[in-house]
């Protein structure tokens, strides 16, 4: 629609999104961020103890501000509430509490994924759950069934893809933890390729040469939903090019 636009602005020590339509405007702060920014980020603001999504998100691959999916194009609307499900995967302790004036998020929430998401609520180290296997990761890494996505294609299905690999089916022992240590960020393909060696000798592959295993067997793949997005497929296989 004509005359609709959004502005990102800094005021004092805060950042705001302002939507303008037919001479009227609404402005809300960037209170919280979802996403480390690998694929994209979306932004939330507080109102009366609840969280709402700002209408404009950032899409990393195209380096652009985009309409937060789920918001209709061409109108100024800041009304999309963020349900507890998003926060159950992206943060910790965001329970809805009933109060006299309506529902609100509990005060003891924390940003980020706390230890107890994977290790349980144990009081001390000895009782801590020792997670193993793929099911724990599957809770959050099986792709998003809920449309619309917050950022196009933000939710990869690494579990489904890995399970479709012969490495998974024939070994009976391949888990996410074979390659990833969730306690630290590791994005170096050379380091991750070395993990293939847990099962495959260096001489199994005559085609390899000095190139890293994952560049041929877990190639960067174009996203289905948006052409500029690439991700590394978790279906380990022989790809003919």
- Of residues 30-59, which lie at the interface with ligand HEC (CB under 6 A)? 34-42
Q: Is 135 in a helix, a strand, or coil?
A: helix
**Considering beta carbons, is residue 20 or 205 the nearer one to ligand HEC?**
205
In whole angstroms, the minimum distance from the beta carbon of 121 to ligand HEC comes to 12
Which of 32, 56, 61, 196 contacts ligand HEC by CB under 6 A? Answer: 196
In whole angstroms, the minimum distance from the beta carbon of 140 to ligand HEC comes to 3
Burial pattern 167-198, b for ≥16 Cβ within 10 A else e, equals bbeeeeebbbebbeeeeeeeeebeebbebbee
Residue 217: its H or E element: helix 213-217
Name the phi and psi angles at 88, rounded to 5.
-65, -35
In whole angstroms, the minimum distance from the beta carbon of 33 to ligand HEC comes to 8
Stretch that binds ligand HEC, among 1-9, 22-30, 140-148, 221-229 (CB under 6 A): 140-148
In whole angstroms, the minimum distance from the beta carbon of 22 to ligand HEC comes to 28
Q: Are 204 and 213 in contact (CB under 8 A)?
A: no
**Considering beta carbons, is residue 21 or 177 the nearer one to ligand HEC?**
177
Which of 32, 56, 61, 176 contacts ligand HEC by CB under 6 A? Answer: 176
Does position 198 bind ligand HEC by CB under 6 A? yes
Which of 77, 85, 121, 127 contacts ligand HEC by CB under 6 A? Answer: 85
- To the nearest 10°, the Cα dihedral for 231, 232, 238, 241? 40
Measure the CA–CA gap between 119 and 101, rounded to whole angstroms: 35
Which of 18, 21, 164, 178 contacts ligand HEC by CB under 6 A? Answer: 178
Name the phi and psi angles at 136, rounded to 5.
-60, -45
**Considering beta carbons, is residue 56 or 159 the nearer one to ligand HEC?**
159
* Pick from 185, 150, 200, 198: nearest CA to 39: 150
In whole angstroms, the minimum distance from the beta carbon of 118 to ligand HEC comes to 3
**Site mask for ligand HEC (CB under 6 A), range 89-128, x = bound:** xx----------------------x-x-xxx---------
Tell me which residues in 200-239 interact with ligand HEC (CB under 6 A).
200, 202, 204-205, 207-208, 211, 213-218, 231-232, 234, 236-238
Q: Across the chain, how many H-helices and E-strands are there?
A: 8, 14
Cis peptide before 148 (omega within 30 of 0): yes
């Amino acid at each position: 629609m004509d005359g609709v636009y959004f502005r990102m602005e800094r005021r004092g020590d805060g950042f705001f999104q302002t939507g303008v339509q037919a001479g009227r405007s609404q402005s809300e702060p960037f209170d919280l961020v979802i996403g480390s920014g690998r694929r994209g980020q979306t932004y939330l603001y507080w109102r009366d103890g609840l969280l709402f999504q700002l209408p404009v998100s950032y899409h990393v691959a195209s380096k652009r501000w985009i309409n937060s999916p789920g918001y209709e194009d061409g109108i100024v609307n800041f009304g999309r509430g963020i349900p507890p499900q998003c926060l159950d995967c992206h943060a910790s302790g965001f329970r809805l509490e009933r109060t006299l004036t309506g529902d609100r998020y509990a005060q003891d929430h924390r940003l980020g994924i706390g230890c107890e998401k994977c290790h349980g609520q144990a009081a001390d180290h000895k009782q801590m759950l020792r997670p193993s296997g793929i099911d724990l990761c599957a809770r959050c890494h099986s792709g998003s069934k809920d449309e619309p996505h917050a950022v196009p294609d933000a939710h990869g299905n690494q579990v489904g893809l890995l399970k479709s690999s012969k490495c998974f089916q024939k070994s009976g022992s391949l888990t996410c933890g074979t390659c990833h240590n969730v306690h630290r960020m590791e994005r170096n393909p050379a380091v991750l390729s070395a993990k293939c060696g847990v099962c495959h000798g260096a001489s199994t592959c005559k085609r390899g040469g000095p190139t890293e295993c994952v560049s041929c067997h877990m190639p960067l793949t174009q996203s289905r939903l948006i052409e500029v997005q690439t991700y590394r497929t978790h279906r380990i296989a022989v790809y003919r090019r």
